[in-house]
Amino acid sequence: MSIEAAIDRISALIGDRLSTAKGIRDHHGEDAAYYTPTPPDAVAFPNDTAEVSEIMKICNDESCPIIPYGVGTSLEGHIQPIRGGVTLDMANMNKVLAIHQEDMDAVVQPAITREALNEDLRATGLFFPVDPGANASIGGMTATRASGTTAVRYGTMRENVLALEVVLADGRIIRTGTRAKKSSAGYDLTKLMIGSEGTLGVITEITVRLQGQPESITSATCAFPSMESAMNTVIQTIQMGVPMARIEVIDPTTIRAVNAYKKMELLEQPSLFVEFHGSEAGAHEQAETFGMIAEENGCEGFEWAKSLEDRNRLWTARHHGYFAMMAAYPGTKPITTDVCVPISNLAEAVIESMAEAKARGFDAPLVGHAGDGNFHMTFMVDPDKPEEMVAAKELAHEMNRRALRFDGTCTGEHGVGIGKQKYMAEEHGEGWSVMADIKRALDPNNILNPGKVVQIN
Amino acid sequence: MSIEAAIDRISALIGDRLSTAKGIRDHHGEDAAYYTPTPPDAVAFPNDTAEVSEIMKICNDESCPIIPYGVGTSLEGHIQPIRGGVTLDMANMNKVLAIHQEDMDAVVQPAITREALNEDLRATGLFFPVDPGANASIGGMTATRASGTTAVRYGTMRENVLALEVVLADGRIIRTGTRAKKSSAGYDLTKLMIGSEGTLGVITEITVRLQGQPESITSATCAFPSMESAMNTVIQTIQMGVPMARIEVIDPTTIRAVNAYKKMELLEQPSLFVEFHGSEAGAHEQAETFGMIAEENGCEGFEWAKSLEDRNRLWTARHHGYFAMMAAYPGTKPITTDVCVPISNLAEAVIESMAEAKARGFDAPLVGHAGDGNFHMTFMVDPDKPEEMVAAKELAHEMNRRALRFDGTCTGEHGVGIGKQKYMAEEHGEGWSVMADIKRALDPNNILNPGKVVQIN
């Protein structure tokens, strides 16, 4: 029973699709988080579910850790093999297996990215709506219960995955769910696997819900005199039942960086970036209602983006906020956060977090999926100043504690990984030990991404 | 270790809120299904979560089965104590604990019914949308993952429960989830408990999502020349992305019975009952689009119900289809079914099921939540004719097998209970044994509603 023995046996099974080359191992030793890299002992590239099953049997037999890997865009060290073992890079399983236009669903392999999937869907008039910004893999998005800018309208991966094929720790292959839209037939294994971060099984097929391309899409940015007035606009809009496709908050620091990075001229004030989907009349009505609410809250400037080109420019700017900050603070390391609270507490949580960061000398950019109560503050840290890292971590810690106090969660969409483990007991109480009970039942040898989500040994 | 000892100890704990009276036991021995009643040995009426926890500790200690009970409207024998034990009637825990208007959620105790909850919400402009027809308890609806006529727009209990308080088999009390709208913090215990039918824990508090009362509500009925044209209307409407609030199919047999029972004059043809929610303009636009599609499919008569009174009349008629059939076939026992398939297969599944029933001599009424691909056929059986019961059970069996062949599920919304156990292996394969693994991990003594959902011993 050893990692070495497992590697030998997997190598015998898949030949040169198992690699122990340093470059490849290093590439799989870190994601987009800031943790010290921990490369796996080997990386396997399975071609199909049957191979995944055989590899799992070997790893279970040899008690060898196994870590599923999509494209490595996770933000909390999810895919770091902190106890060594074999990384299962799903890159060869990246196909669309079926598109059911009439039923508005598609069956895909885990390594396909959301952009590639939407490319394949273009001719159908359908699209896959979940958009976390990064061009993540659908398997990885499922494993982290990802969401992003459009979740306020279309839901997160939780609402957009109908069924899964999963290989269990002992190599058994299960199908969770059917293509029926709803079912009351027993425990919801689909939802149990979504967000399990590779600790309960390896996802080898995903049936996703699709949406019809709206007849009309309009985007806009609007600037507010204060963060509070922007937040109040969000709360009132949601309460009015306006089916916003996107409603994002962006702070002046981010706007400043984006203006510089993208050569834009957005007002450098607390802002909302919004999008309306619907029929011509419907989207227009939504925009009117929103505009009225925004104006009542003192909105100081509305900029519309109706053409595809203008909309792409706007949302690329939003999604590139991260890179814009990297450009604005060259040489820094970003420490990201990801809290989510009930929207009635959002303004307070945001304003307190910003004030605290400012008091500690950080000009920390803040963006948020405000309609869901989810926001991210990023601390740009000079790696040569350890005191900055300490301060950033303290501030991030305070944000997480604050979110829990406000009846929220320490992670709205990034997942637990390494970074959020320490809040699990506080957020879930005894529920966290129930998660561990489930993990023990499904993975008794603790081979599946060990050390993540739950604490077993 | 015995049921008797458990009853003595619970009696010492809650006094006369434990009853062994025959009438009370009999009342808790059956739900709305047709199975032979199996009364519990005693019925306990806890007042709060702490008492539920103490009772669970006793039952776990004494290996005494414990069956949570709401209002008894389940349709598959879920609450039948098939191995005796203690029924936990939650009737005293029926309060609204909090309404958070700004966040559009409410925290309720399990025994409150959906109608009582909506009564309490009336002044807030918010409502709880899930409507299974029966005035079920919110706890029971959570435990069976119920849905009904409005799921096509607002989702099932799966989408409308944010968080739970649950008492585990060993008496531990957990909170699953927070009031944040989304979270990636570990395994989704909320969704695991929803639909677990009292086999994994006793639900003692439910945080439900609420919806804003739409500005405009309009209902209509429309008659079609054939079941196929009605079905095609449904499929095309859903594909066009019309956000239908309700889109129900009703067959001529049901309409005939409803006309007689409710003194109505609906066209006795395959029909759709629909409802539109939105702004004035939005609901109007939806109705126009739907009307156009219906007309293209040969719709032969549209009857609008715009006033609250007319709408209530229409939906009461729909919900009373069951009673109307009982009146039309006095002395019969209804055998209900509940399959759900991808909507591309709905027409075929419905038409095959109707033809087969007719070939066996049944004039079996059919109603369906067509937008979700979910339908119910009911066989009205003369209890004095055992051959009718045999034929009905064979037909129901064929329907379930057909649903699985069509990539669907044997239960769209009623749950597993006693009746659907035999399809679980076929529907879930190895997944069913994973459910049993989870059950063993959370309830090692198998005291929680034993014999339901999974097979342990």
- Interatomic CA distance for residues A71 and A90, integer angstroms: 9
* B289 token code pair: 């689009």
Full DSSP string of B60-128:
HHHT--EEEESSS--SSSTT--TT--EEEE-TT---EEEEETTTTEEEE-TT-BHHHHHHHHGGGTEE-
Task: Say how far apart CA B92 and CA B262 lie, in whole Å.
Answer: 35
Beta carbons of B194 and A183 less than 8 Å apart:
no
The CATH label, of 3.30.43.10, 3.30.365.10, 3.40.50.410, 3.90.1300.10, for the domain at B3-91 is: 3.30.43.10
Phi, psi of A265 (to 5 degrees): -130, 45
For the domain spanning A216-405, the CATH number is: 3.40.462.10
Specify whether the CB–CB gap between A321 and A367 falls below 8 A: yes
* Among B279, B409, B454, beta carbon nearest to A183: B409
In tens, the pLDDT along A101-116 reads: 999 999 999 999 999 9
The CB density around residue A390, as the number of other CB atoms within 10 Å, is 11
Quick: pLDDT tens for A104-162. Answer: 999 999 999 999 999 999 999 999 999 999 999 999 999 999 999 999 999 999 999 99
Greatest alpha-carbon span in chain B: 69
Q: Does A12 touch chain B (CB under 8 A)?
A: no
Interatomic CA distance for residues A379 and A326, integer angstroms: 11
Domain locations along chain B: 3-91, 96-212, 216-405, 420-457
Q: Determine the pLDDT at residue A142.
A: 98
CB contact under 8 A, B342 and A212: no
pLDDT value at position B170? Answer: 98
How close, in Å, is residue A120 to chain B by CA atoms? 19
Identify the residue whose tokens are 């209990």.
Answer: B157
Distance CA A399, CA A414 (A): 15
Amino acid B244: pLDDT: 96
CATH 3.30.465.10 fits A96-212, yes or no: yes
Contact B434 A279 (CB under 8 A): no
Instruction: Identify which of A180, A372, A427 has the shortest CB distance to residue B373.
Output: A180
**Which residues between 236 and 255 in chain A have a beta carbon less than 8 angstroms from any beta carbon of chain B?**
238-241
ipTM score for this prediction: 0.97
State the smallest CA–CA distance between residue A342 and chain B in angstroms: 5
* b/e map B42-62, b = 16+ CB within 10 Å: bbbbbeebebbbbbbbbbbbb
Report how many Cβ contacts below 8 Å link chain A to chain B: 276
pLDDT of residue A240: 87
Q: Is the minimum CB–CB distance between A444 and chain B shorter than 8 Å? A: no
User: Which sign does the torsion angle of CA B421, B427, B432, B435 carry?
Assistant: negative
Q: How confident is the model at residue A322 (pLDDT cuts 50, 70, 90)?
A: confident
pLDDT of residue B323: 87
Looking at residue B302, what is its pLDDT? 85
pLDDT along chain B (457 residues), means of 10: 95 98 97 91 98 98 98 95 97 98 96 98 96 96 97 97 98 97 98 98 98 94 95 92 95 94 92 95 93 95 88 87 89 93 95 96 95 96 93 97 97 96 96 98 98 91
Those residues whose C-beta lies under 8 Å from the C-beta of residue A288, and which sit 6 or more positions away, are none
- What single-letter amino acid sits at B205? E
- Least confident interval from A248-257, A327-336, B50-59, B365-374: A327-336
State how far the Cα of A189 lies from the Cα of A187, in Å rounded to an integer.
6
pLDDT digits (tens, 9 = 90+) for B197-223: 999 999 999 999 999 999 999 999 999
pLDDT recorded at residue B259: 94
Which residues face B174 on adjacent strands? B166
pLDDT tens, A172-189? Answer: 999 999 999 999 999 999
pLDDT at residue A317, rounded to an integer: 85
- Which chain A residues contact residue B164 at CB under 8 A? none
**pLDDT tens, A338-379?**
999 999 999 999 999 999 999 999 989 999 999 999 999 999
Question: Tokens in use for B226?
Answer: 């054939």
Using 50, 70 and 90 to split pLDDT, how confident is the model at A266?
A: very high
The verdict on B173 touching A (C-beta cutoff 8 Å) is yes
In angstroms, rounded to a whole number, what is the distance separating the alpha carbons of residues A38 and A29? 5
Q: Which of residues 136-165 of A touch B (CB under 8 A)?
A: 144-147, 151, 155-156, 158-159
Distance from CA of B223 to the nearest CA of A (A): 23
List the 328-387 stretch of A: residues with Cβ below 8 A of B.
Answer: 338, 340-344, 372-374
Which one of B183, B234, B289 makes the best mutation probe of the A interface by having the most chain A beta carbons within 10 Å? B183
Q: A182 vs A190, A319, A396, B300, CA distance in Å?
A: 12, 33, 39, 31
Tell me: pLDDT of A318 over 90. Answer: no
